[in-house]
Each structure stands twice: as C-alpha cells, then as structure tokens.
Amino acid sequence: MRLPVIVGMGGVNAAGRTSGFQSFRRMVIDVLPEAQRRQTLVGLAVMMGLVAAEADGRFRVVHGIENTDNTDLAEGTVLDASAVAAGFAEVVCAGTLVRRVAPEYFNVDALHWQSNASLSPADTSAGLQFAMPLAQVPEPLPEGWSLDLVGDKEALVTVVGSVNVKLDNQRDFPVKAAGQLPSGFAISELYNSRFQPRGLQMALFGATDALRSVGIEWKEILRHVNPDQVGVYSSSGFGQMDQSGYGGMQQSRMKGDRVTTKALVMGINSMPTDFINAYVLANVGIASSSVAACATFLSNLRIAVADIQAGKVRVAMVGNSEAPIVPELMDGFATMGALATDENMIRTYGDAAVDHRRASRPFGENCGFTMGEASQYFVLMDDALAVELGAPLLGSITDVFIDADGIKKSITAPGPGNHITMAKAAAAVVAVAGEEALRSKSFVLAHGSSTPQNRVTESQIFDQVAAAFEIEDWPVVAVKAYVGHTIAPASGDQLVVALGAFVHGILPGIPTIEAVADDVHQQRLLIGPEHVQRNPEDLEVAILNSKGFGGNNASAVVLSPARTQRMLERRYSAETMAAYYARREISEAAASAYFLAADRGDYAPIYRFGEGMIADEAIVIDKLRVTIDGLPGAIELPTDNPYADMS
C-alpha cells in the first residue's frame, strides 16, 4: 500500500504562520532557545506590521510603541533583529493567541442590532400620523393605514392602531474573546483580493504557504504526475459568513440593501477548494469538499489518504479555512450555551475581572469554548513520488478513522463513536509501529473544546483506551487553549502541533489552567499546565482526535519523520534512499530560504486570476486518453473492467 507522506504545510491561525513552525514556536515561546525565540518574535513583528524588513537585513519601525519613553522604538527607527525581539516582545505576545475581540471584527461592547418597538398615538382619537417619502410607502398598504399626498413626492400617513417598527440599537455582546489572526495582519493587502470573503483570502494564503514550504516548484512536481493525479480536499464548515459572502446575502434585504452578485457564490462552503484549484494550483484533477462539523479537517484528510493509498492521486492538498468571528455565528453558539461568556467566566473562576487570554481552558474548570479562525493546509504525496522528487519529510498519515454515535436523544450529545475511533487508532499504531511505540512514544492531540461535558467524556475515552492498551502517563495536548476552536481546520491546528513536537521535542501544556478539573479522568493520562520536553527521538506517534457536533467522531494516526524514514528505508534500496537524501537536501534548502523570506514578509498569496486558461481547442480526446495543450502528461481513460468476474 502507498504511504501518504506529509511534505509541506502552510497557513495561519492566532499563533502565526504555519510554515517553518512559526505558530508552533509561538505556543512554546517561553521554553525556546534564545535564537528560535528571537526568530519567532521578529517574524511575527513583521507579520503584524510593527516593523518592515530592510534590504540590509535590518528592520524599520512602522508602528512605534505608544506610552513609552524608549525613543529607540519610535516610528522610522532602524533596528537589528535582537532589538526588534527585545523591544516588541510584549506587543507581539499580546497581539497573538486567544484575546479580546478587536474592534475591526465587531464592537463587543456596543454591537449594532435592531430592536422591536410598537408605536401608538398619544391621542387615540386622532390616530398616529407621520410624513414619509412617497417612494418609501410599503406595497400593499398595511391594514389601518391611509394616505394624504403632500405634493408629488411626500405622503402624510395616518394609522389607526399601532405600528411595529425596528429601531437601530446597541447591546453588550456577552462573548468577548476569540482566537484571532495576529493583530495587524491583513491578507487583503497582500494581493488583489477583489472584496473576497476573509475565509477565501485565508485559503489562498494557507495553500500558497504550504506549496512554497515544499521547496520544489509546482511545475516540477506536475512533470512527474499525470494532470488528474492531483487532488484538492478542502472546505469551510459554515461557508463564508462575512459581508462579502453569506452574511451579506442574508442581511441585505432585512437592512434595506441589495444582494450583491457574488455573495451567494462566494459563500458556498466548497469555495476554498475551488479557489485553490483555480487560482493557486491550476488543478484539473480531483476536487473534493467534505463537511463534518468540528471533524471537517479529518474528514477531508481521510478521503485524501484513501485516494493516495488507492493510487487515485499522487499528490494532494488537504486543509480547511474558516473565518467564523462574526456576530451571527458567535451569537448562535452563545445562545446554545456553548461559548464562554464574560459573566460565566466570572462566576466559574471567581475572578473580579475577566482574563480574556485564558478564556479557553481545556480539561480545567471551564464554562464553554472560544471561537477561533484559521487556515491550515498540508501537501501529501505517495511515498514513491516523495522519494523520486526528494521532497521534505515532515511525517506521514497511516490511518484516519471515522465513526458515528448511533441513536441519541440530543444531536449535539456525545456517544460511542469516539470510543470506536480512538480504539481503532490505538490498535492501528500497534499494528504499524508496535506496542512499545504506542505505550512510550505516543501522545494525543485532544479535541479539548473547553466545555464541562467535553472534559469529562473525552478524558474518559482516553483513559479507557489507555487502560485497554496498558499505557501509563499518556501525554494529552489541547491546542485550543492557544488558538480557540477554529471549527473546520481545528484538527489541522492539531496536526501542526504534532509535527512541531516531532521536530522540537516539546509537548505544549495547557497554560490557561491552574489545575486539571476534579471530574477529569486521568488515572493513565498526563495533563497539566506545563510544557513537557522530550528527546525528539522519543516522540514517534501522534493521535489526532476530534469530536464534532452531530456525531462526527474522527481519530487519525500520524507518524514522526524519523519513524516514517525508517519505513521508507525498509521499502527502498540503499542506493535509492541515498539519491533521495541528496535531492532532499536541495528541497529542504529551498524551503528554508522561503521560511526566511516569509519571516521578512515575503508571503503574498499566489492568485492566478485569469492566467493560462484552457481553451476548448487545447483539449484532445481519443479512446485512450485526454491530452491538454500546456499540461505535461496525459489523462488516461479507464479501459480495464474491475467487475470482469461479474460481467
């Protein structure tokens, strides 16, 4: 069976850029070596628009720090990397991870809404009278209304009874924390975004970042595969809900505005796939969009892994983009009681004031999850193609398991499905890597949503599986403590951390909690606020777990680069692997050069709008194949009968 190998990753979430492990490093910045800490702070300072890279390797201050007597940080000052890291560390850290919702999203203290009111006349004998433009008089005329014309353009309206109206109003929004992209990072300014929804801008950025992280030109990859052996597996969970997508379409008529021509199309939840196919990869292969609530990433990953294992595709772009920090979505979750409100946090934690930085508290005393936004994309290849091209080796995916919950009395309640997926994942680890790898060299990336129900049910599953497979002190990582719940790409956030842990030997703790809640099952688990540092060689397997609304349970097995490489060495000859290592050095050097350039702000999304469109006359079809002028290789048509024994 072909092994799906991870050769690139890219994207962005509240912790920063995905490629080069920037976002991972931000999560564990307090235990990083000084050089990596400085690199992380400087790269984020550039991303946040605080400084701009100069040609000589130094940085010019774009936004000086207010309320400081340090003139060395004034606007226009040129600094070296050490000075940037020292001077802007506090601002960078404050402007990343979960934090108070910024005004550019919406005003959580004075959110605009329309309140209902009923207007009645003070003198009921005269009726209610008011003037209005004739063009604004509703048709048909409401019951009880009568008109007297005042000139050609105005009417005097008399109403018998009352009039129900909606008044512009403001209210305090109960949820004030979210995992927002780094403050000041504006993707729309990096390319001609054409008023595209935020989620699609993020998809272009994430796919571009992932593609460049491979260190091999896309056209070179295409030379080694047929045009239909490429697949993009992507979606958003809710669609694009801001004003440029479904949000604007749904609100327009209620606000007295017109629906724009693009709102419906741009809002569709498969649009991230379509944008990547059309504007980043120019792909004519598989386009696949799966949606499975919080397990959406793993659902897309399962299909991609299966297609690679079956030989349907040889290279896949897998990921999701979600921009859900909009009042409508957050209002919906808050009404369900799913989000952590300021009032509930004060009541639960006993604090006089709310610490929005600690809004997401997986496996601790908690009162709801925290919304986040993210774009996470990964480039997968079958092992033969990765070896042939000399692609970087970040790890591999052996299995993705998905099971439903069966009968339940609440569609959002948990059930047995996640017990099944986790048990299957643990057994699959034993089958592929052995019992010792599972017992002493594996860790779990928990769904860890920060709700009271999740902390009990998910920890019980982990503890039960650990007992069945004789695991002691099984490390559990909860990424949502740092970036919030990003819905569709949530398990993409997990995968980024898993790959980062393999390289850096750091399992991020849960710094937002002081202690694990009393009702958490942890007899065989290792959960806590502190980071756990291990020798990277002792981290070989990660299990990603997701518990989605409606019974969308999923668990995936991820192998480390070292474990994956040993598997490749068993499959291929020493000569083949030696050639692979030589080619890999070149691609890794190219990838490293991109990471350095990206840290200096060179990461504009690929946006091939209208470039190289395929005309009908460029397509040639015969009985055996389809060839397209300008694309290497051919699309072979099926000729074998897979059901020959039944024909």
Token couple for 303? 């299909």
Residue 560 DSSP class: -
Q: Which listed residue (356, 367, 419, 485) is catalytic?
A: 485
Distance CA 32, CA 43 (A): 15
Give per-residue burial for 224-246: e unless 16+ CB within 10 Å, then b.
bbbbbbbbbbbbbbbbbbbbbbb
Length of the chain: 647
Q: Any catalytic annotation for residue 63?
A: no
Residue 292 DSSP class: B
- The CA angle 538-540-544, to the nearest 5 degrees, is 125
Q: Any catalytic annotation for residue 294?
A: yes
Residue 524 DSSP class: S
Nearest residue to 442 via CA among 548, 532, 552: 532
Strand-pair category, 374-382 with 625-628: unpaired
Distance CA 43, CA 92 (A): 10
Token couple for 104? 């550019």
Alpha helices in 311-351 (DSSP H): 327-336, 342-349
In terms of C-beta distances under 8 Å and separation of at least 24 residues, what long-range contacts does 526-534 make, across chains too? 526/473, 526/474, 526/475, 526/476, 527/363, 527/459, 527/476, 527/478, 531/28, 531/30, 531/31, 531/506, 531/507, 532/475, 532/506, 532/507, 533/31, 533/505, 533/506, 533/507, 534/505, 534/506, 534/507
Q: Any catalytic annotation for residue 531?
A: no
Sign of torsion over alpha carbons 27, 31, 35, 38: positive
| C-alpha dist (Å) from residue 32 to 19, 105, 539, 597 | 17, 32, 18, 21
Q: Which listed residue (294, 367, 419, 504) is catalytic?
A: 294
Q: Is 1 helix (H, G, I), strand (E, B) or coil?
A: coil
For residue 131, list its beta bridge partners.
156
* Beta strand extents in 474-562 (DSSP E only): 474-477, 506-507, 525-526, 532-533, 541-548, 552-559
Catalytic residues, which ones? Answer: 294, 447, 485
